[in-house]
Amino acid sequence: MRDTFVKTLVRCAKEDKTIELITGDLGFGVLKPFWEQCPDQFTNAGIAEQMMTGVAAGMALTGKNVFTYSIGNFPTLRCIEQIRNDCAYHNANVKVVCIGGGFVYGSLGMSHQATEDLAMLRALPDVIVLAPADLVEAEECTKALAKYQGTAYLRLGRGGEKRIHEKIDNFQIGKAIKVCDGQKVAIFSTGAIFEEVTACKEILNSEGVSPMIYTFPTIKPIDKDTIEEVAQKVDLIVTCEEHNIIGGFGSAVAEVMAEMKNIRAILLRIGLNDEYSVRVGNQKYLRAQYGIDAKSIAEKILNSLK
């Protein structure tokens, strides 16, 4: 996703000279196309993410459209005060970009695991939160943010994600995307965990279960219309996220369902069960350890249906 993000941002920046990209002294191999093609729109702020965010806010208030870029928790949790006070409060055109949401940097330990970021950024007023599932969604999210006026958060995977969509017609911030129809069960997914959902679907199909599947590239504002429509059609809605179940995507869906009348579906939230990872390993290993891999997701759905 990071390569897709950079290539898309280069195209946008060539058309819109107000777009600026600031890095916290990393990602140079990935960001090279941007600084080579848009050298006057690129800044390395050094290993000083809080300052980077403050600088971005200042640039935005002079008319720039600024993207800050770093990994995991560095541009988000480390900078939450600057995002809140300097950017969001002033509705500044700052787009915070995290590479490596969830367990992408799992081998570096919990300090590098972004598993509370969605909840933290979702709680900030007037901040939109995006987490694309594949390369096509990442491209569409980047193009949308290049035009969006205000503060936003874009959570990306690291790279190697599978392509889900051939194309997306009429992509809109705040709208879910239907992947397939199904019966009785609907799986809502956000971010790169979708690759586990696709494998889970095959397991469920072998057990005679055909789930309806949606991706939610936008977590805030959440697509209330889709949630309400689906909740009247199925018996079970399942949310999947590579994030703490407290305050994240599943919580956003739960908030919508809690205010519905005559609801049919019950809700199953799948994610980290309000815990830090005390284990160290690659993303696949940690997903299995914490019950958010395809096999675990399928088992939890089948148990709920029983």
Question: Per-residue confidence at 92, pLDDT binned at 50, 70, 90?
Answer: very high
SS3 letters for 171-204?
Answer: CCCCCCEEEECCCCEEEEECHHHHHHHHHHHHHH
Question: Per-residue confidence at 8, pLDDT binned at 50, 70, 90?
Answer: very high
pLDDT in tens, 35-79: 999 999 999 999 999 999 999 999 999 999 999 999 989 999 999
Helix axes 2-15 and 135-147, enclosed angle (nearest 10) = 30
Decide if pLDDT at 248 tops 80: yes
Phi, psi dihedrals of residue 187, rounded to the nearest 5°: -105, 120
Question: Per-residue confidence at 162, pLDDT binned at 50, 70, 90?
Answer: confident
Decide if pLDDT at 4 tops 80: yes
pLDDT in tens, 199-227: 999 999 999 999 999 999 999 999 999 99
- Segment 243-262 mean pLDDT: 96
pLDDT in tens, 132-158: 999 999 999 999 999 999 999 999 987
Decide if pLDDT at 160 tops 90: no
Q: How far apart are CA 241 and CA 248, in angstroms?
A: 8
- For the record, the structure tokens of 141 come out as 């999210």
pLDDT in tens, 273-284: 999 888 999 999
What integer best gives the mean pLDDT of the chain? 95
Would you state the pLDDT for residue 6? 95
- Segment 239-245 mean pLDDT: 97
Q: How far apart are CA 177 and CA 165, in angstroms?
A: 10
- Segment 258-275 mean pLDDT: 95
Decide if pLDDT at 253 tops 80: yes
Decide if pLDDT at 18 tops 80: yes
Are 135 and 276 contacting, i.e. CB atoms less than 8 angstroms apart? no
